[in-house]
Amino acid sequence: MRFRVTVSDMQVCPLDFRYGREVMKQVFDEEKRLQYMLDVEAALARAHAKVGNISAENAKMISEKANTKTVKIERVWEIEKSTNHDIMAMVKALTEQSGTAGDFVHLGATSNDIVDTVMAIALKNALQIIEDDMIVLQNSIAELAEKHRDSVMVGRTHGQFAVPLTFGMKMAVYAREMQRHLDRLREARPRICVGKMSGAVGTGAALGPHALEIQKIVMEELGLGTEEASLQLVGRDRYVEYMSLLANISCSLEKFAVEIRNLQRSEIGEVAEAFDREKQVGSSTMAHKQNPITCENVCSLAKVVRGFMIPTYENVPLWHERDLTNSAAERFTIPHASILTDDMIVKMSKVFSNLAVFPDKMLANIETSRGLIMAEAVMMALVRKGMGRQDAHEVMRRISLKAADTGTHLRDQMLSDETITKLFKPKEIDALLDPKNYTGKAGEIVDRTLKDVR
């Protein structure tokens, strides 16, 4: 039996007052869950009527009463106090309201026929919200890719300067990543949104000779796939796939947020989260602070979502046809992960939509490298002049280290090196050291990405 409190009594879970949007919370709301259960019971009654197991009149009466205006959640909770069984409490409450048709409520079903089919409905609704969220996020990223198609910045590997790219290309990479998540979601949906109506151990014995037909009718009416072969449960590998999808999405969201946080460092300053200068406070003591708090929040919540994967995996190996060790965990993991993932996607959409980008700072940071990030460009030019690649690499390694050790510009060291001056004129050296001339196919990558994702 679950101990129930009202909002005014106690607030423990941050989802109750701090995180998550109402649209996703509604999917997993207790009263909404009750309505899902009643929808399944009504669909079961109508399926029985279609195959001739009960009369159409009885199915109609059950269907008319299967709503939360008639079957009150408070009454279900009251019954549960004595039954210590939430599904049986719902069945009894619906039976009370269904008159003589009450004899046929829950006919041939087991509790998890209802529980797992209800979860399939919830997951179907949750996936639609998440899909819509991700499209908005992808569009906000794509807009940045288009706007900053040619905004040159330095790439960084191992936290060190690498070679130039464009901010637009970085965003194109993120847009492609979101597209893959959308593809995964759409591919996984038919495997995830699956219910069952096959009785205590999956044989359908209590449903009679039309058991498979009844199951098919119920699932088609509810817009769900059918677990064609089950024991008492829908296969929990399906829930692993759902939760893995959310965990994977959370990894990308944290990746994006970490990059923004790093680029917002005071010593880098190439992008920044929007900051309300009229009201927002960055620190209770350091009045100058403008922190990337939304990105930090996303990074924090992403860890929670991924943390739910362990109990999700643990819920797959159950005893025989089933036990109850998965039940309590799933009441936490699936709703929480869904609500938090929705919350994070929407937050990152707002971050990208309002992101301040500073191309001038990007160029200024490039200049601090004193040309060293262009060593690869010069090396490749040497190869085009006929020098072996390994020899060219050694030439530029030697010149680059000398520039770094002396704190001079790479151009100065190149102009003083006979190997370089024999092959390149000063103007050619200037062109080789211009980062705008060494972004490869970045612009084309952005263009192709925008064409594919929009």
Answer whether residue 436 is part of any domain: yes
Q: Is the pLDDT of residue 38 over 80?
A: yes
> In this structure, how many other beta carbons lie within 10 angstroms of the beta carbon of residue 9?
7
pLDDT bracket for residue 12 (50, 70, 90): confident
Answer whether residue 199 is part of any domain: no
Q: Is the pLDDT of residue 328 over 50?
A: yes
Q: What Cα–Cα distance (Å) separates residue 52 from each residue in 5, 55, 58, 210, 388? A: 43, 7, 11, 9, 84
Give pLDDT tens digits for 88-103.
Answer: 999 999 999 999 999 9
Answer whether residue 223 is part of any domain: no
Indicate the pairing of strand 356-357 with strand 271-272.
Answer: antiparallel
Report the percentage of the chain scoring pLDDT > 70: 95
Answer whether residue 55 is part of any domain: yes
Q: Is the pLDDT of residue 9 over 90?
A: no
Residue 253 sits at φ, ψ, to 5 deg, of -60, -40
Mean pLDDT in residue range 59-79: 97
Q: Are residues 309 and 430 in the same domain?
A: no
Catalytic residue among 158, 266, 284, 288: 158
Mean pLDDT in residue range 183-207: 97
Give pLDDT tens digits for 138-176.
Answer: 999 999 999 999 999 999 999 999 999 999 999 999 999
Q: Determine the distance from the C-alpha atom of residue 402 to the mean position of all C-alpha atoms in its chain, rounded to a whole number.
A: 47
- The more confidently predicted of residues 8 and 90 is 90
Q: Are residues 342 and 394 in the same domain?
A: no
Q: Are residues 326 and 416 in the same domain?
A: no
Residue with tokens 């590998």: 237
Report the percentage of the chain scoring pLDDT > 90: 92
Q: Are residues 124 and 257 in the same domain?
A: yes
CATH number (domain holding residue 181): 1.20.200.10
Alpha-carbon distance of 179 to 449, in angstroms, equals: 10
Catalytic residue among 55, 82, 283, 300: 283
CATH number (domain holding residue 373): 1.10.40.30
Among 73-82, 296-305, 321-330, name the one with the lowest average pLDDT: 321-330
Instruction: Collect contacts of 8-15 with beta carbons under 8 A, ≥24 apart.
Output: 15/336, 15/339, 15/340
Alpha-carbon distance of 83 to 69, in angstroms, equals: 22
User: pTM score, two decimals?
Assistant: 0.92
Residue 257 sits at φ, ψ, to 5 deg, of -65, -40
CATH number (domain holding residue 97): 1.10.275.10
Residue 71 tokens read as 């079957």
Mean pLDDT in residue range 72-83: 96
> In this structure, how many other beta carbons lie within 10 angstroms of the beta carbon of residue 436?
12
Q: Is the pLDDT of residue 5 over 60?
A: no
Mean pLDDT in residue range 409-425: 96
Domain C-terminal end among 50, 74, 104: 104
- Could you tell me how many residues make up the chain? 454
pLDDT bracket for residue 373 (50, 70, 90): very high
Q: Is 196 in contact with 215 (CB distance < 8 Å)?
A: yes
Answer whether residue 289 is part of any domain: yes
Q: Which domain holds residue 397?
A: 369-447
Q: Is the pLDDT of residue 7 over 80?
A: no
Q: Is the pLDDT of residue 1 over 50?
A: no
Q: Are residues 275 and 422 in the same domain?
A: no
Q: Are residues 87 and 131 in the same domain?
A: no
Domain C-terminal end among 358, 388, 416: 358
Q: What is the DSSP string of 266-322?
A: TTT-SEE----TTT--S-SS-TT----HHHHHHHHHHHHHHHTHHHHHHTSS-STT-
Mean pLDDT in residue range 405-412: 97
Answer whether residue 109 is part of any domain: no
Contacts of 63 (CB under 8 A, 6+ apart): 42, 45, 46
Q: Are residues 100 and 176 in the same domain?
A: no
Answer whether residue 11 is part of any domain: no
Q: Are residues 258 and 138 in the same domain?
A: yes
Q: Is the pLDDT of residue 384 over 60?
A: yes
Mean pLDDT in residue range 391-411: 96
Q: Provide the number of structural domains found in the chain.
A: 3
- Please confirm, yes or no, whether 158 is among the known catalytic residues: yes
* Phi-psi domain of 390 (left: phi exceeds 0; alpha: psi -120 through 50; beta: other): alpha
pLDDT at 291: 85
Q: Are residues 35 and 171 in the same domain?
A: no
Q: Are residues 295 and 431 in the same domain?
A: no
Q: Is 10 helix (H, G, I), strand (E, B) or coil?
A: coil
Return mean pLDDT, the chain. 94
Q: Are residues 90 and 140 in the same domain?
A: no
Q: Is the pLDDT of residue 2 over 60?
A: no
pLDDT at 275: 67
- Please confirm, yes or no, whether 8 is among the known catalytic residues: no
pLDDT at 288: 67
Q: Is the pLDDT of residue 253 over 80?
A: yes
Alpha-carbon distance of 351 to 152, in angstroms, equals: 21
Closest CA to 242 of 120, 137, 344: 120
Best mean pLDDT range from 5-9, 10-14, 233-237, 322-326: 233-237
Q: Are residues 278 and 351 in the same domain?
A: yes
pLDDT at 243: 98
Q: Is 316 in contact with 236 (CB distance < 8 Å)?
A: yes
Alpha-carbon distance of 438 to 224, in angstroms, equals: 52
Domain C-terminal end among 303, 335, 358: 358
Answer whether residue 351 is part of any domain: yes
